[in-house]
Amino acid sequence: MSLILLIETATTSCSVALANTGKIIGLREINQRNVHAEVITIYIDELFKETAKHYSQLSAIAVSSGPGSYTGLRIGVSTAKGLGFSLDKPLVAIETLNAMAHGLIGRGEVDIDNNTLLCPMIDARRMEVYTALFDHSGKQVKPTAAEIIDENSFAELLINHKIIFFGDGADKCREALGHQPNATFILGFSNSAKDLLTPALAKLSAQQFEDIAYFEPYYLKDFIAGVKKT
């Protein structure tokens, strides 16, 4: 038996799931800003009660490690580290864009052929997004980066490939890239803890664990505090 707690807080979605022997057995999530700290531990407790599982039965804790929201990542990773330390359970870190790519594949809601590239996007600032490219199997083919999107972005790749853009960053990029015939946009995609399962199982099998004492989220960019409006 491998019981895994999955935590996703990198975007406006606060999502936690329990997976047992490779299948999701419980899920709690809400897509709303600034509620992560308020609900995350409540959701986790509810999952264990609902599934009649106990914290001591965990094989590992998997967390979405970024890039994404600075505050959201801090809350998710701090929760995962706290549980891992107190329960003496290993910590598995999954890059958020990687989880999104596997999530789109696993949900089976879109047609993905061998020539299709997947482009998850997380909203950053203005026309900037955190993004990467993955092939039809979920293998990363372009490294994670913060990119400013304009009408020329991905132009060479779009000549020979269909690219599926999705995530909260893709919604705002549709106007810039929508003229490309090979660009497809999946609107309303919400990050979910269940999307961490496939890469988490691979890391658990390979025993690729993080050092709980020193692990930090993958911010990609330094945090810049905004000026509060009066």
In whole angstroms, what is the distance from residue 101 CA to residue 163 CA? 12
Angle between helices 197-206 and 96-107 (to 10 degrees): 120
Q: What does pTM read for this prediction?
A: 0.94
Cβ 138 vs Cβ 101: under 8 Å: yes
The two tokens of residue 52 are: 């009649």
Outline where DSSP puts E strands in the chain: 3-8, 13-20, 23-31, 58-64, 91-94, 116-123, 128-134, 140-148, 162-166, 183-186
| Residue 222: per-residue pLDDT | 59
Full set of structural domains in the chain with CATH: 3-96+191-206 (3.30.420.40), 110-186 (3.30.420.40)
| Residue 198: per-residue pLDDT | 97
Cβ 11 vs Cβ 69: under 8 Å: yes
pLDDT (tens digit, 0 to 9) for every residue of the chain, 230 residues total? 699 999 999 999 999 999 999 999 999 999 999 999 999 999 999 999 999 999 999 999 999 999 999 999 999 999 999 999 999 999 999 999 999 999 999 999 899 999 999 999 999 988 899 999 999 999 999 999 999 999 999 999 999 999 999 999 998 899 899 999 999 999 899 999 999 999 999 999 999 999 999 999 999 875 444 444 44
